Amino acid sequence: MTGTDIQAVAGRLSQAFESDGEYLTRVFDPPAGSRRSRVPGTGEDGEGHKHWWRQYWNGEVPEPDLRPGPQREIRTAEIFCGPGGLAQGVKQACLELGYKFSSKLAIDNDSGAVDVYRRNHGTELPWKRSIVDLLDKDRVEGTGADAQFRYTPVITEREVLAVLQEPIDLLLAGPPCQGHSNLNNHTRRDDERNGLYLKVPTFAIAADIPMIIIENVTAVVHDAAGVVDTAKGLFENNGYYVTELKLRADKLGWPQRRGRHFLVARHNRLGSPPLTEEEITDALKIDPPESVLWAIEDLEDEVGVCGMTRQPNSRTHTKDPAQIGTKERLEWFSGHPGVYDLPPEMHNRLHRPGEVREVPDANGEIHQQIVEGTTYTSVYGRMNPKEPAPTLTTGFLSPGRGRFIHPTQLRVLTPKEATRLQGFPDNYVWELHSEERPTTSDLVKWIGDAVPMPLGHAAALSVLAPGIPN
């Protein structure tokens, strides 16, 4: 058996790919013991990583080497669940570690997202209400390392309590991130939604859940109220080991430059802390990362998610004849192969260096203001086919909201291509529980806000790989 893509051993975690000419085997060595799983194909020429994830996209579930005896079930609950991107990464990690992923509870006030989650993860109780509705008023005293609950939090909803009669092993959560995002104005770092972050340790401690993964944008650490440090303090003061992970998808070999912050906790009764950021990234990194074209080149002629395709609006702005329209910008790229940024004169005139902007003051009087430099340099940008994609957002269907022009075609990404870059397998079901199709706005929101599978996968390894007592 010949080995390919051998990764350096990173202390407590490593991976390697081996081929026997018919199957590609992934050898995975977490602290709890070595694991092997395989997919059809060879991954020749040192491309085991590429082949493995290509098979994953195609819906080829790896065959694990389950050990004798009953398979350990990982019972999960997720709040702020969205359409299930984080859960998809956790499910993949469970498979690799020999665990059975079992979704018991999914909570989100977006009923359509909960439907999509349930269709893909078979959730026992999809709860389509706000997390605020099922907790008594938690009283947090102090901040940071001094944070404590004035009294033990309590879950109040009978339906949820019934599911919690059997212990939950792992809590997943993706609290709202809009107020933390670097795309947002820094003055909104005190957005009232930011406090929802603290509902996660509240729920975890109320339900006595021993493992927790909280994901958010990397800017969450700059929240004005210090929600990350306070959540960390609440966990540590209630018997948990806590690790912070700042992960980038492209640093793990994935074809997107998306970064996320994870707060990962394990109760000390499990015996060991989560794996560190260094241990995870050293074991999983692929350098250089895969390219955007590698991820989507086979989808050029396919319809998008839910049968939806999308071409950019090609109309020229009519209110201002001097304004340049989308069609003109795309045609410019067609005449400039190998160029991925528009020149300043092709940008919106209000964003061009030296342009004069008319701004009303508090009294309604108009004043002229000179724009010092281009504000959004990447809008109407084209993706470089040889590099990872930029961070996807909910604006990926609009070329004016980011670098979302296809690397070889004069159009924006389709939803199908976007799901690839976010790490969803091609067989992921984007339909509501009634088998209706979601609206375009819902679909774009779910895909753009989703946690890329490789990031959830890495965070899950951090909390699960040290092992769980039976």
DSSP of 215-234: EE-GGGGG-TT-HHHHHHHH
Pairing relationship of beta strands 100-107 and 125-127 according to DSSP bridges = parallel
pTM over 0.75: yes
Q: What angle do CA 86, 94, 276 make, to 5 degrees?
A: 70
How far from the centroid of its chain's Cα atoms is residue 453's Cα? Answer: 6
d(C-alpha 270, C-alpha 66), whole Å: 22
Task: Provide the token pair at 438.
Answer: 């979601």
d(C-alpha 370, C-alpha 372), whole Å: 6
Instruction: Tell me what pLDDT residue 302 has.
Output: 60
How far from the centroid of its chain's Cα atoms is residue 161's Cα? Answer: 28
Q: pLDDT tens track of the chain, all 470 residues?
A: 334 343 433 347 888 888 888 888 888 888 888 888 888 887 765 678 788 888 888 878 778 776 666 789 999 999 999 999 999 999 999 988 889 999 999 999 999 999 999 999 999 999 999 998 888 877 899 999 999 999 999 999 999 999 999 999 999 999 996 554 444 444 444 444 557 999 999 999 999 999 999 999 999 999 888 999 999 999 999 999 999 999 999 999 899 999 999 999 999 999 999 999 999 998 888 888 899 999 999 886 566 677 666 655 544 443 444 567 888 888 888 889 898 988 877 777 665 656 566 667 666 676 666 555 555 566 788 999 999 999 999 999 888 888 999 999 888 888 999 999 999 999 999 988 777 888 889 999 999 999 999 999 999 999 999 999 87
Instruction: Tell me what pLDDT residue 4 has.
Output: 39
Instruction: Tell me what pLDDT residue 90 has.
Output: 97
β partners of residue 121: none
Instruction: Tell me what pLDDT residue 226 has.
Output: 93
